[in-house]
Amino acid sequence: MTQPAIQISQIRKRFGELEALKGVSLSVEQGEFFALLGPNGAGKTTLISILAGLTRADSGEARIMGHDVVHDYRAARHALGVVPQELVFDPFFTVRETLRIQSGYYGVKSNDGWIDEILHNLDLTNKADTNMRKLSGGMKRRVLVAQALVHKPPVIVLDEPTAGVDVELRQTLWAFVRKLNEQGHTIVLTTHYLEEAEALCSRVAMLKQGEVVLLDRTDKLLAQHAEKKVALKLVPDSLPLALQAMKCGEQRGAHVLALQDFAQLDGVLATLRESGVRIEDMEVLTPDLEDVFVKVMHGEGRAVA
Amino acid sequence: MTPGFRALFYKEILRFYKVAFQTVLAPVITALLYLLIFSHVLEEHVQVYPGVSYTAFLVPGLVMMSVLQNAFANSSSSLIQSKVTGSIIFVLMPPIAYSEFFLAYVAAAAVRGVAVGGGVFVVTLLFALPPLREPLWLIVFALLGSGLLGALGVVAGIWAEKFDQLAAFQNFLIMPFTFLSGVFYSLHSLPPFWQGVSRFNPFFYMIDGFRYGFFGVSDVSPWLSLTIVLVCFFALSLFTLQLLKTGYKLRH
Ligand SMILES: Nc1ncnc2c1ncn2[C@@H]1O[C@H](COP(=O)(O)OP(=O)(O)O)[C@@H](O)[C@H]1O
Ligand SMILES: [Mg+2]
């Protein structure tokens, strides 16, 4: 059996009174594209900081590619690249200098070939000799991504890389990250755009107030947690009494019904026929991660760790 | 040399080199102004060592003061800047050992200190030429002094959370210690009480030992100065390494 790319067990972290992480355990397999979701303050950044060695856990342990992040920090950090949430930069240097220096920290010599490739993939080639101070926010964000990749880490963690970033960069970035994942890199990302997580990630963990409340494959989550919904436009526009209990909303003049499963649809259609109501239009609403997220964050999720 | 040390050292050198106008040229000019003013006012009235003009006496002290202040400024301002902007994470996330971290910041601080000191020495040559009787002592004290202040700068940079806290460190600790260290006078010209106080000031030994390198004469034996400076250097280094090892104020 191969080592998990990331293994976190029973990590606890307090900031004074606040218990930011309450015994978090999870593991990410090599080659996975994994999403770490949760509202602001859930503890995502704290968890990532512990992996990166920026923060020390009060108890528990974390390993990157089998290397303990405290006791075997050199190997662990060689294996990890983190794109931080905050837009930080060193104002003294140009983009290329920044990347060369960063390569040096990891003991990578004459890295210009790979640096050029990263710059190209992130559309930064013509900014290579520009000072960091002169870059726009989006450009600085790209450099942060580049910095995390200089040493070709097998495990890449991106902490809200697309927050406040334009559509173009999001697409450039995801195309590149997807490519890295196809080449075998393990990717973990936190994002506020749930459709991104849904489109990219095969597995999802949801963190709420320092606890993992949900951890599963994305497709399974969508199948289990999100209700199946149909939007029905009726003529005449009146929903039979027997179906009122299933109604969960309206959408452009259509009644939205929540179903346990699609077999229930038979009964719905029969009831409508009996009541003499005709269906003018019907749309099956596909569940998305947002539904799951909202459901879980409003109390339905239990700690699974 | 380990890769982490080499890259961090290079980064620190490049950082001050890029703003050499502020980090090297400006302190050289400051020292030159001190020399012009003090020698103009005191040249006729003060002779510290027999046969040595006051201006010549002043040169080594000014050179050493510049070495010390700039070594301190380099490590402390680099650290506080990267802490305040958050870019400190770029040096905390890579596999750099705390000992490499320490050595890189101290060595780069020493390079800046010695560079400024060398600049001050060169421009003061226009005004006075002190003899170079014991150059080896001079080199030893310049290196040890800049290393000591570089390490002190690391401590200050780690401890301070804002620029004004660092400024306080500089104004209430570094400045009084350097000015009360015999840059502008000999210990023997002080009243006994202040002579006694000065003997507890490590900066006094750094400057006195450094001056011995020029004149072959000093207020106390250079061996005593060397011993004291070495003890201070090792004690401070151990303390700083301990701070870095525990991640004090750097890793939460
Ligand atoms: N250095 C710190 N000192 C005190 N509290 C902190 C610190 N870092 C994070 N926190 C707190 O820990 C909680 C989790 O924060 P964070 O990990 O940033 O959440 P997320 O990234 O999920 O938004 C928040 O309540 C935050 O205020
Ligand atoms: Mg965060």
What CATH number has the domain bearing residue A268?
3.30.70
Q: What is the CATH number of the domain that holds A59?
A: 3.40.50.300
Q: Which of A222, A246, A268 is the last residue of a domain?
A: A222
Pocket test for ligand 1, best of A17, A46, A213 (most atoms within 8 A of CB): A46
| Ligand 2 mean position, distance from CA B148 (Å) | 39
Ranking A27-41, A282-296, B2-16 by mean pLDDT, the lowest is A282-296
Asked whether the beta carbons of residue B252 and residue A54 sit closer than 8 angstroms, the reply is yes
Mean pLDDT of A169-184: 92
B42 vs B53: CA distance, rounded Å: 10
- Based on the fold, state whether residues A183 and A65 are members of the same structural domain: yes
Assess whether A63 and A210 both reside in one domain. Answer: yes
User: Tens digit of pLDDT for each residue in A72-90?
Assistant: 999 999 999 999 999 999 9
**Cα A167 to averaged position of ligand 2 atoms, centre (Å):** 21
For residue A113, name the pLDDT band (cuts at 50, 70, 90).
very high
Cβ atoms within 10 Å of B181's Cβ, excluding its own: 23
Instruction: Spell out which residues have Cβ within 5 A of ligand 2, the ion.
Output: A 44-45, 85
In this prediction, residue A191 has a pLDDT band, given cuts at 50, 70 and 90, of: confident
Pair type for strands A59-64 and A67-68? antiparallel
A202 and A246 assigned to the same domain: no
Of the candidates A197, A222, A247, which is a domain's last residue? A222
Instruction: Tell me, yes or no, whether A211 and A242 share the same domain.
Output: no
Laid out side by side, the sheet with A59-64 consists of A18-28, A6-15, A59-64, A67-68
ipTM entry: 0.91
Q: Band of the pLDDT at A302, cuts 50, 70, 90?
A: low
Q: Does A129 touch chain B (CB under 8 A)?
A: no
- Mean pLDDT in residue range A266-275: 88
Per-residue pLDDT at A305: 41
Query: Does A84 reach chain B within 8 Å, measured CB to CB?
Result: yes
| pLDDT for position A226 | 61
Tens-place pLDDT, residues A54-77: 999 999 999 999 999 999 999 999
Q: Between A241 and A99, whose confidence is greater?
A: A99
Q: Please tell me the distance from the alpha carbon of residue A49 to that of residue B93, in angstroms, as a whole number.
A: 9
Residue among A92, A103, A105 minimizing CB distance to B18: A92
Residue with CA closest to ligand 1 atom 9: A46
Q: Locate the domains of chain B by residue range.
A: 3-246
* pLDDT grade for A186, boundaries at 50, 70 and 90: very high
Region A273-299: mean pLDDT is 79
Q: Residues A259-286: what's their mean pLDDT?
A: 84
Contact (Cβ atoms closer than 8 angstroms) between residue A13 and residue A21 = yes
B18 lies within 8 A of chain A by CB? yes
pLDDT at A303 exceeding the cut of 70:
no
Residues in chain B with CB shorter than 8 Å from the CB of A84 are 86, 89
Question: Same domain, yes or no, for A145 and A207?
Answer: yes
Closest ligand to A18 CA?
1
**Is A264 found in the same domain as A156?**
no
User: To the nearest 10°, the Cα dihedral for B106, B110, B112, B116?
Assistant: 150
Distance in angstroms (rounded) separating the CA atoms of residues A69 and A73: 5
Asked whether residue A58 is domain-assigned, the answer is: yes
A157 plus A85 within the same structural domain: yes
Task: Give the type of residue at B58.
Answer: L
Same domain, yes or no: A234 and A197: no
d(CA B165, CA B80): 10
User: Of A222, A249, A270, which residue is a domain's last?
Assistant: A222
Chain A, nearest residue to B20 by Cα: A92
Structural domain includes residue A302: no
Sign of CA dihedral B127, B128, B134, B137: negative
Q: What is the pLDDT of residue A126?
A: 95
A46 shares a domain with A14: yes
Contact of B91 with chain A, judged by CB distance below 8 Å, is answered with yes
Is residue A26 domain-resident?
A: yes
For residues A211 and A240, state if they share a domain.
no
Residues A206-218: pLDDT tens digits?
999 999 988 888 8
**A302 contacts chain B (CB < 8 A):** no
Q: How many domains does chain A have?
A: 2
Same domain, A243 and A109: no
User: Could you tell me the residue range of the domain that residue A61 belongs to?
Assistant: 6-222
How many whole angstroms from A79 Cα to the centroid of ligand 2? 22
Q: Are residues A71 and A127 in the same domain?
A: yes
Per-residue pLDDT of chain B (252 residues; tens, 9 = 90+): 788 999 999 999 999 999 999 999 999 999 999 888 888 777 777 777 777 888 888 899 999 999 999 999 999 999 999 999 999 999 999 999 999 999 999 999 999 999 999 999 999 988 888 888 999 999 999 999 999 999 999 999 999 999 999 999 999 998 888 888 888 888 888 888 888 888 899 999 999 999 999 999 888 999 999 999 999 999 999 999 999 999 999 998
